Amino acid sequence: MKHSEDRNYKLADYLARSGDRYSFTKYKILMNWLPQTPNLQILNVGCGSGEMNILLSQNSTWQVDALDIDVEAIKLSQKLKIENNVKNLNLYHTTIEDYIAQEKYDIIVSNDVLEHIEDDQAVIKKFSEILKPNGLICISVPALQWLFGYHDEMLGHYRRYHRKEVIKKLSVYFNVDKCRYFGASLIPVALFYSRWLRKAYPIGELEQQSLTTEILNLILNFESKVSMPIGISLIALATLR
């Protein structure tokens, strides 16, 4: 069941992304999975506060389009675009359902979007329709329904996902090349804060503790290289059939 999102919580979540080691490491995994072919057309669906936009646009031969339903997300993304002097990035304030692509894309990236949409299968179909033949999608979603808690409710999530579910849904239109969990080390944090205490994750508190931050960086770096059997996120790469 979907809960109404809390706007203040969502904005705080956007602002936390700029210093969130977990999110940045997850984005690095996605970037390492993408081909380095020049002159690609990329669409970032649900760009949020814009950190992934900057990583994608670092390849100056790529043209990156990014969209988000949230006007605050677009403002933050525009701010990052200006601060990083990015020229190869276009931003659009729209939903993926309403987005009209001017041309088909080589790659679609989408982080933490499908869980916000009731008919996620329809969005996966939309992805397939605006990709070039053999185009790629690279997505991440929150994992494990038994972790569904306060954080999910405040962000208006419909669900969290299991690996088999992601593969099944993508396989209607795509060949799934990779699908892995990430963030196993953060399951206790998700359980303790979001499920049991029903509080926000202590991202700011952790960032202020240098030793904790150093340990977390080491663990997340290890997890970026070694796929664990469970985690708080799922990441998938798939090719259009």
Provide the pLDDT for residue 204: 58
Provide the pLDDT for residue 216: 85
Q: Which has the closest alpha carbon to 89: 65, 56, 60, 62?
A: 65
Provide the pLDDT for residue 213: 77
CATH number for the domain running over 7-240: 3.40.50.150
Question: Quick one: how far is CA 162 from the chain centroid?
Answer: 16
Q: For a pLDDT cut of 90, what percent of the chain falls above it?
A: 84
For the chain, give every domain's residue range.
7-240
CA–CA distance, 190 with 198 (Å, rounded to integer)? 10
Provide the pLDDT for residue 215: 86
Token pair of 203 as six digits: 């991202």
Max Cα–Cα distance, the chain, nearest Å:
48
Provide the pLDDT for residue 21: 87
Question: Does the predicted TM-score (pTM) go above 0.85?
Answer: yes
Q: Residues in the chain with pLDDT < 70?
A: 1-3, 18, 203-211
